């Protein structure tokens, strides 16, 4: 048995496809990115080695700073707006029984299975100043002006609303799954002891949900960092750089501004940021757990 389980050839054949794909689609491109990050390659012609110039430029690049700030704003938006609503809705949903529970759960998740392409264009119309849904709603409340939802001051908030709206179902579902894992006996015991639903939510649900909340918060921060598609289709990062995000910025630099080398340098820094934030969040939560 032992011999069978340590046959090198068999092991190699089992991990080969996975390893090969990892090397081809993830490792090789990262190495190539590191190389081009040191050059001033435009996308065509000759690549000249310029050492750390791209990285020096990045340090003082205001657009890049704005992109990171927007990711932070989005992460805060997820954590302060989306998640509290998601937890409460999940807890309330758990109390419902039968058909209604399935019905609401289904509705909340539907936006998540719709393509970002549809979501982005749909919201472009929702925000449309002439016939958009939002201005029509405001008209219903008696407001006659036309609000431009994509002006330099408003655009980032409009983008945040779309992203918070779109990701809501996913976050809710994870909390819902976590709540379903809580032993109902605990709630029964609490209600026998005279606890109302508010107390049992604060004293039982929230504390027991801690690990789920930590996972969800980590994922929210990462996805705020990785945001690109919705912004790319909604605003292309504009007007100005008001809705710029890192991934969108590196893409535009490489393919629209023909600074392929610079785009790759942003990519390298982007990977480092994602890795270090994931690792440090995990470590932070693990240490807290041990205490």
Partner 1 sequence: MTDKGAIIKKVILWVILSAVAVVQIFPLIWLIDFSLGTSNEMFTSGLLIIPEKIQWGNYVKAFIDGHFLLYLRNSVLINGLAVILVTLFSIMAGYACRRMHWKLNGFVKTLLLLGMMIPIHATLLPNYKIYHTVHLTDTIWALLIPYIAFSLPQALFLMTGFIEALPIELEEAAVMDGCGIYRIVFRIITPLLKPSIATVAIMTFLNNWNEFIMASTYLSSHKWKTLPFSVLEFTGQYSSNYAVQFAVMALTAAPAVIVYILLNKHITKGVAMGAVKG
- Residues 19-48 touching partner 1, rule: CB under 8 A, are 19, 21-22, 24-26, 28-30, 32-33, 36
C-beta of residue 166 within 8 angstroms of C-beta of residue 119: yes
Nearer to partner 1, 21 or 69 (CB): 21
Q: Is 15 one of the binding residues for partner 1 (CB under 8 A)?
A: yes
10 binds partner 1 (CB under 8 A): yes
| Residues 187-226 within binding reach of partner 1 (CB under 8 A) | 197, 212, 215, 222, 225-226
Q: Is the separation of the CB atoms in 182 and 141 below 8 Å?
A: no
CA distances for 186 relative to 87, 191, 206, 207, 208, angstroms: 18, 9, 13, 12, 11
* Phi, psi for 49 (deg, rounded to 5): -75, 125
Binding of partner 1 by 114 (CB under 8 A): yes
59, 69, 80, 85: residue in contact with partner 1 (rule CB under 8 A): 85
Contact set for partner 1, span 116-175 (CB under 8 A): 116-118, 121-123, 125-126, 130-131, 133, 136-137, 139-140, 165, 168-170, 173-174
**Choice from 59, 69, 107, 206 touching partner 1 (CB under 8 A):** 107
Query: Does residue 281 interact with partner 1 by CB under 8 A?
Result: no
Residue 260 in contact with residue 38, Cβ under 8 Å? no
Centre a 10 Å sphere on the Cβ of residue 258 and count the other Cβ atoms it contains. 14
**Which alpha helices (DSSP H) does the chain contain, by range?**
2-5, 8-22, 28-37, 53-59, 62-77, 83-95, 99-113, 116-126, 133-140, 155-180, 184-192, 197-200, 206-208, 210-226, 229-234, 246-255, 260-290
Could you say whether residue 2 binds partner 1 (CB under 8 A)?
yes
Site for partner 1 contains 238 (CB under 8 A): no
237 contacts partner 1 (rule: CB under 8 A) = no
Two structure tokens written together for 76: 């805060």
Query: How many residues of this chain bind partner 1 (CB under 8 A)?
Result: 98
Report in angstroms how near the CB of residue 52 gets to partner 1 at its nearest. 19
Q: Which stretch binds partner 1 (CB under 8 A): 60-68, 71-79, 150-158, 243-251?
A: 243-251
Closest distance to partner 1 from the beta carbon of 187 (Å): 15
Cβ distance to partner 1 smaller for residue 30 or 189: 30
- Give 49's strand partners: 39
């Amino acid at each position: 048995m032992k011999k069978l389980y340590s046959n090198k050839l068999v092991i190699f054949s089992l991990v080969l496809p996975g390893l090969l794909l990892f090397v081809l689609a993830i490792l090789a491109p990262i190495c190539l990115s590191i190389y081009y990050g040191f050059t001033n390659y435009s996308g065509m012609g000759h690549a000249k080695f310029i050492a750390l110039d791209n990285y020096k430029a990045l340090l003082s690049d205001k657009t890049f700073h704005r992109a990171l700030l927007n990711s932070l704003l989005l992460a805060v938006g997820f954590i302060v707006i989306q998640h509290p609503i998601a937890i409460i809705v999940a807890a309330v949903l758990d109390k419902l029984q039968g058909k209604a529970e399935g019905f609401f759960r289904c509705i909340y998740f539907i936006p998540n299975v719709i393509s970002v392409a549809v979501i982005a264009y749909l919201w472009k119309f929702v925000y449309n100043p002439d016939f958009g849904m939002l201005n029509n709603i405001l008209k219903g409340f008696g407001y006659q002006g036309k609000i431009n939802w994509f002006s330099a001051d408003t655009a980032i908030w409009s983008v945040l609303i779309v992203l918070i709206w779109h990701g809501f179902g996913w976050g809710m579902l994870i909390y819902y799954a976590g709540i379903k894992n809580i032993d109902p006996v605990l709630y029964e015991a609490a209600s026998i002891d005279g606890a109302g639903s508010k107390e049992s939510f604060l004293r039982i649900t929230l504390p027991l949900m801690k690990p789920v909340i930590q996972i969800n918060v980590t994922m929210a921060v990462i996805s705020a960092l990785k945001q690109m598609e919705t912004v790319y289709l909604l605003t292309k990062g504009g007007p100005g750089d008001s809705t710029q995000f890192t991934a969108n910025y590196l893409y535009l630099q490489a393919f629209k501004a023909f600074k392929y080398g610079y785009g790759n340098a942003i990519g390298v820094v982007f990977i480092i940021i994602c890795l270090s934030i994931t690792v440090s969040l995990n470590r932070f939560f693990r240490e807290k757990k041990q205490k």
